[in-house]
Amino acid sequence: MSELPDYLPERIREQLFHDPRVAEQDLKVDVKEHRVLLGGNVSSVQLRHTITEVAQELLPGYEIVNETTVVPASEPEDEEPVC
């Protein structure tokens, strides 16, 4: 597996997607020096924490900055007539 800096973010993104604890395809991963920036949408606060833990396992010596957003799932305010 490549450790070249140009390929590292995609490798981490792929490993997060294939980790059954995460399985989240929408994550954005950027690596600068020894900082990993995570972005995108997640469905729960718990999943957000899990993503940080799994990313830390994948890159033990790196600082993990998790900027993912928890998507709200509240009731809609209104309805749309379509036909």
Task: Work out which of 1, 3, 6, 20 binds other proteins, going by CB under 8 A.
Answer: 20
* 1's tokens: 């597996």
Work out whether 76 is an interface residue with other proteins (CB under 8 A). Answer: yes
With CB under 8 A, what is the number of residues at the site for other proteins? 22
How near is the Cβ of 81 to other proteins at its closest, in Å? 5
How near is the Cβ of 24 to other proteins at its closest, in Å? 8
Name which of 55, 61, 21, 22 is nearest 38 in CA terms.
Answer: 55
Q: Which residues contact 58 (CB under 8 A, 6 or more apart)?
A: 12, 15, 16
